[in-house]
Amino acid sequence: MDTFNTVMNFFMNQRTTIGYSFMAALTIGGERIFSMVSFQCPCNYSQNLVYGLSFLLGPAIVLMVLGLFLSGRLWRLFTGCCMNPRKMCPRGDYLGCTSALLKVLCNAAVAPIMWLCVALLNGTFYECAVSGVEDSLVLDLFCKNKTKLCREELARVPCKKSRLSPDDNMELLLMLRAQSQILGWCIILTAATLGLIGTCYRNCRSQVSYLQLTFWRKYMDKEKQQFETFANEYAGKLAERNLKSFFENRDPDAFPFPNHKAWEEISSLYTFSQSEQCYSTLQRYVERADRDYSPEKRPVLEEHDGVEAM
């Protein structure tokens, strides 16, 4: 049992690293499937650029949208902001709001950057896209000191069906692949450098020590887990109470339930402050001296709240 607990604690502590590794493996596998199964470069000037960029940037955009869609922090920040714009930046903390948005964008950009790096290192999509560019600068770059036939056949090089000699065809293909891989490594180095600088800056500007920051993160994880447990439990009790009232044809029993204002306060994003030793909006709310204990008489959502009933 001790060995099992040790293994589980290791995976829990390294879940971010494991998650990114799993994401990288899926990205590599997805790119290989796209390259071998569905990607067929048209090899003509009119379609190469659009077709190549579609496969290079299309999945990256989809991954970015999915990352934003699955971001709990984003929806916690934006939910209800159209009805009350001040919810986005409570207490006028515009710097904290901007920081939260940057964190959301950075987290959502991990998968798209992985895709771009893997796709560029492979080079297939880039070769097709760039070979279809008819700009004189691109043609001069690849066909310098070559015959006019090179300019005419560059778009057919990725398919290895050009009228150029095999040596010239391979030379152009290697040039395209080299450019793609260089660009891929540039993105990797840039992302790694920015990530390191951002982490160093965030830790340098931290108001708490490293160990307290570690404790804060562990607390937030535990609070989230416990919230899911309590929410499921109380939702079950409320459903049971309502169903009993309906089927037994009697008034429902009293049921303590947080009021709307309480839900609003604990749903906002939290920024740690040394002036208050709290680790979340929930803790800050329950430890307030002027806390509103009045329960919600009707713990339901009305039609005008913008929530569709089942």
pLDDT of residue 310: 40
Q: Check: CB of residue 104 under 8 Å from CB of residue 68.
A: yes
- Which among 180, 146, 176, 140 has a CA at the least distance from the CA of 43? 176
The structure tokens 């379609």 sit at: 47
Q: Check: CB of residue 111 under 8 Å from CB of residue 23.
A: yes
pLDDT of residue 304: 45
Largest CA distance in the chain: 92
pLDDT of residue 186: 96
Q: Check: CB of residue 168 under 8 Å from CB of residue 150.
A: yes
Q: What is the pTM of this model?
A: 0.77
Q: 273: helix, coil or strand?
A: strand
Token code pair at residue 235: 């939702």
Residue 249 φ/ψ region, left for φ over 0, alpha for ψ in the -120 to 50 degree band, beta for the rest:
left
Helix (H) or strand (E) holding 310: none
- Which among 282, 279, 250 has a CA at the least distance from the CA of 264? 282
pLDDT of residue 273: 63
Residue ranges in the chain modelled with pLDDT below 70:
1-22, 34-35, 85-88, 90-93, 271-276, 292-310
Token code pair at residue 128: 């097709």
Task: Tell me what the pLDDT averaged over the chain comes to.
Answer: 80
